[in-house]
């Protein structure tokens, strides 16, 4: 076979695909959208998105564990924010591509 990857490169690809899964869902992308202009509490996110509290909390858990967002506890509130400017940059680039694309391009059913 050709240039099959080394173990560490396989790991890196697996982690990178996992990172992208963070962005590959409507609800989570909506969360990022809400967080783009600064930190928000969970209830603010719930209110801004209209998504259920448990769904938001489940998503935030994942995003937090993958360190795509940071959390800051203050009294009974938890403030979430985007962890890294490169995260914002990735989303910005993707939205740029979409802006130029025709809607039909994204009919892809499988995957």
Partner DNA sequence: TTGACATATCATTATTTGTTGATATAATAA
Partner DNA sequence: TTATTATATCAACAAATAATGATATGTCAA
- Interacting residues with its own copies (CB under 8 A): 1-5, 11-26, 28-30, 33-34, 44, 47-50, 58-59, 61-62, 65-67, 84, 86-87, 89-91, 93-99, 101, 103, 105-108, 110-111
| 52 contact choice in its own copies, DNA, none (CB below 5 to 8 Å, kind-dependent) | DNA
Tokens of 87: 């995260």
Phi, psi of 60 (to 5 degrees): -65, -35
User: Which letter does DSSP use for residue 37 in this model?
Assistant: T
CB 39 within 8 A of CB 81: yes
Provide the minimum distance between the beta carbon of 83 and its own copies in the complex, in angstroms, as a whole number: 9
CA-derived radius of gyration, the chain = 16
CB nearer to its own copies: pick between 37 and 73 = 37
Provide the minimum distance between the beta carbon of 14 and DNA in the complex, in angstroms, as a whole number: 11
Among 3, 4, 7, 54, contact with DNA (rule: CB under 7 A): 54
If one counts every other C-beta atom within 10 angstroms of the C-beta of residue 78, the result is 17
Distance of alpha carbon 46 from alpha carbon 61, whole angstroms: 14
Residues binding DNA (CB under 7 A): 21, 24-28, 41-43, 46, 51-55, 57-62, 71, 75-78, 109-111
């Amino acid at each position: 076979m050709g240039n099959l990857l080394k173990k560490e490169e396989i790991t890196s690809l697996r982690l990178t695909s996992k990172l992208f899964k963070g962005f590959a869902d409507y609800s989570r992308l909506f969360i990022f959208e809400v967080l783009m202009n600064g930190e928000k509490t969970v209830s603010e996110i719930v209110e801004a998105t209209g998504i259920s509290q448990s769904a938001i909390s489940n998503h935030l858990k994942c995003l937090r564990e993958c360190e795509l967002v940071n959390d800051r506890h203050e009294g009974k509130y938890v403030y979430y924010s985007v962890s890294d400017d490169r995260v914002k940059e990735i989303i910005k680039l993707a939205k740029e591509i979409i802006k130029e694309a025709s809607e039909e391009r994204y009919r892809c059913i499988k995957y």
